Copies of this chain bind each other. A is one copy, B any other.
Amino acid sequence: MNDKNICTDPCPIARCLAFLGDTWSLLILRDAHIGLTRFDQFRKSLGIAPTILTRRLATLTEEGLLEKRLYSERPPREEYVLTAAGRDFLPVLVMIGAWGHQYRGGGPLVRIQDVETGEDIKPVAIDAVTGAKIGTRPLRFVLPDGAD
């Protein structure tokens, strides 16, 4: 399943999940969006074992969602910053969060605010073509050829 770069499945969902379909990768990306960049920041924030963090950061870097950047020459220190692809992953995280908020509420929750308005955002996925909310109109998954 996790054959790194070479996922030939025609489904873009499967392709995306082929390398970041695990909890840690997504939580690392969440933290990166919050603003964390350093190994120990991620480690402390997530309570993740360093072995696994190393591996996840390497995968995320190889896959082009994060990139290493030297932030100190002496001593040589690197941090991990989001690339454009990593930044464009935000809508996915936000939609996951919206679902979690609705169906796994209960107790205090982190909220995502618009900095300018100061209000909690209300994320909705819409189809830019029709302007309709995703899920309100019937959709069809179309195979490119004749597989599956």
Q: Which residues of A contact B (CB under 8 A)?
A: 1-2, 7-8, 10-18, 21-23, 26-27, 30, 33-34, 45, 64, 85, 87-105, 107-117, 119-130, 132, 134-135, 137-145, 148
Contacts and interface: CB of A to CB of B under 8 A. Distances in A.
A145 B110 CA distance: 9
Nearest to A30: B13
B34 A141 contact: yes
A12 B30 CA distance: 11
Contacts of A18: 23
Copies held by the complex: 2
Contacts of A34: 141
Contact of A121 (B93, B121, B127): B127
Given A21-B23, A128-B122, A97 B13 contact: yes
A96 B92 contact: yes
A92 B135 CA distance: 11
